[in-house]
């Protein structure tokens, strides 16, 4: 039991050191004119920050909406429902 707590403490100290080392090297050099969003990918507990231009986000959002509409259309045709819920 003591060994487990010692390992957990060492892991916490190690990950805290990794988070501060490098000064956030994963951050873009400049986010001027960019819109940044944070999302957590499926199957992960670690959020990911993505920065894109507003036009690129608009295209991404439009593509996502098309996908949702397609899935909804397929679901309605499979169940015989003609009206969205």
Q: What is the pLDDT of residues 18-27, one digit of tens each?
A: 444 444 445 5
pTM of the model: 0.53
Q: Is residue 55 part of a domain?
A: yes
Q: Once rounded to an integer, what is the mean pLDDT over residues 32-47?
A: 95
Total of domains in the chain? 1
Tell me whether residue 72 is in a domain.
yes
Tell me what pLDDT residue 52 has.
96
Position 29 in a domain? no
Q: Which residue in 65, 29, 34 sits closest to 50, CA to CA?
A: 34
Range of the domain at 60: 47-80
**Domain annotation covers residue 68:** yes
Q: Residues 57, 39: contact at Cβ < 8 Å?
A: no
40 occurs within a structural domain: no
């Amino acid at each position: 039991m003591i060994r487990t707590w010692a390992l957990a403490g060492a892991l916490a100290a190690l990950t805290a050191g990794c988070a501060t080392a490098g000064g956030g090297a994963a951050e873009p050099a400049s986010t001027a004119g960019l819109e940044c969003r944070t999302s957590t990918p499926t199957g992960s507990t670690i959020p990911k920050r993505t920065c894109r231009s507003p036009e690129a986000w608009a295209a991404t959002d439009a593509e996502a909406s098309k996908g949702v509409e397609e899935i909804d259309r397929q679901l309605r045709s499979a169940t015989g429902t003609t009206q969205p819920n």
